[in-house]
Amino acid sequence: MTSVVLVVAFGLLGAFARVPFVALGPGPTYDTLGLEGDHPVISIEGHETYPTAGHLNMTTVSVTDQLSLFGALGLWVSGRYALAPRDVYFPPNKSEQQIEQENTEAFNDSQTTAETAALRFLGYPHKVLIGQIVKGSPADGTLEPGDRLLSANGKPITDATSLKDALAGAKPGDRAEIRYQRADQPEQVANVQLGTNTQPGGDPGQGFLGVAATERPDVPFDIKISLADVGGPSAGLMFTLAIIDKLTPGELNGGKFVAGTGEIDPAGNVGPIGGIPFKMIKAREAGATTFLVPADNCAEAKSQAPEGLQLARVANLVDATKALDALRNNQVPAPC
């Protein structure tokens, strides 16, 4: 009788007791050139677009939470999933709502950055805006997020780093003349006394304005990305390529099925991401024959690539377009 009770108790624990792990596995993949439901994933209004073909699929990783012991073991044994500490993905000091909001914000930021990178690559003009203002900083209450930065101390603001360059050498207590434009109002000038930089890693000897600059396209047309229930920044590269494809004649991918991943910055640099083995699995199952891999992920990707999936190494947007050029010409792109 005792052994039966122990077996039953173990069975109940295995079936219902939650383990402090999540399962990572292949997530959905979406064609950035195609439709999601009845709507294009990427639509452009106010500018001519060109026909596309084939696929440029972004890839995702699924995170399965609230696992029982038996459930976790079952997913792990399947070979398609890996277990990871739950605290890494659901920090105990944050609510699930906060985590979901952060993931959504990262995904939205990746869309905005993809637009900027694509249009900058194509030679469209851009503008520099205030993205964030440090609370309590000298700029707080004078400048606002969304203000367009025109010059600082007489030096033009042409990109996100030129504001820092314009204020280089300024000391706490110095005054900075910031020329800016708010919405459609006339240009304005703010004369701000710089403070002391107490931010982590900041130089206390450098005059502190408290503004983070960001770049945005300055174009008379709109780009809309419609994809719900996806989080994180790793779709940036594929969004960027799809925008370029829609705005230029011809088929960027030569009509082939290409998938990939990678975070992108406004200058077109491609950053590494997590979960690439799972993303490659899903891409290959969906029909992809080539996968664009961030350069810093190449070693991991090369060791775990599914059979039949060609890997192309990309460190930036130029690399990515060259890889697609090679495919279009039936050549082999630069490999991992």
Q: How many domains does the chain have?
A: 2
Assess whether 291 and 163 both reside in one domain: no
In a domain, 17, yes or no: no
Told to judge if 279 belongs to the known catalytic residues of this protein, a careful annotator would answer: yes
142-181 pLDDT, tens digit per residue, is 999 999 999 999 999 998 889 999 999 899 999 999 999 9
Based on the fold, state whether residues 324 and 238 are members of the same structural domain: yes
Which comes out higher in pLDDT, residue 13 or 133? 133
Q: Is 215 helix (H, G, I), strand (E, B) or coil?
A: strand
93 belongs to a structural domain:
no
* Rounded Cα–Cα distance for residues 172 and 169 (Å): 10
* Residues 130 and 199 grouped into a single domain: yes
DSSP letter string over 240-258?
HHHHHHHHSSS-TTTT-EE
Give the CATH number of the domain where residue 249 resides: 3.30.230
Q: Count CA within 13 A, CB hemisphere, residue 169.
A: 4
Q: Are residues 168 and 203 in the same domain?
A: yes
Q: Looking at 167, 202, 217, which one is the last position of a domain?
A: 217
CA 259 to each of CA 5, 66, 126, 267, 280: distance values in angstroms, whole numbers, following the listed order: 52, 30, 28, 21, 8
Which one from 151, 246, 256, 279 is the annotated catalytic residue?
279
Mean per-residue pLDDT, 233-238: 90
Does any domain span residue 141? yes
Q: Is 69 left (phi over 0), alpha (psi -120 to 50) or beta?
A: alpha
- 271-290 average pLDDT score: 96
Nearest to 108 by CA among 131, 91, 134, 129: 131
More confident residue, 186 or 104: 186
Q: Which of 234, 246, 256, 282 is the catalytic position? A: 234
As given in the structure block, the two tokens for residue 175 are 């005054």
Question: Residue 84: which pLDDT band, with cuts at 50, 70 and 90?
Answer: confident
Whether residues 233 and 247 share a domain: the answer is yes
User: Where is the domain boundary, 159, 188, 217?
Assistant: 217
Query: Has residue 92 been placed in a domain?
Result: no
Q: What is the CATH number of the domain that holds 181?
A: 2.30.42.10
291, part of any domain: yes
pLDDT in tens, 87-133: 888 888 888 788 778 777 777 888 889 999 999 999 999 999 999 99
Is residue 159 domain-shared with residue 288, that is, in the same domain?
Answer: no
Dihedral of alpha carbons 222, 228, 229, 235, sign:
negative
Residues 171 and 234 in one domain: no
The residue range of the domain holding 160 is: 126-217
Q: C-alpha angle with apex 96: 133 to 58, nearest 5 degrees?
A: 80
Beta bridge partners of 91: none
State the pLDDT confidence band at 17, using cuts at 50, 70 and 90: low
The upper half-sphere exposure of residue 269, i.e. CA atoms within 13 Å in the direction of its Cβ, equals 5
**Considering the chain, what is the average pLDDT of its residues?**
89
pTM of the model as a whole: 0.85
Amino acid at residue number 89: Y
Please confirm, yes or no, whether 256 is among the known catalytic residues.
no
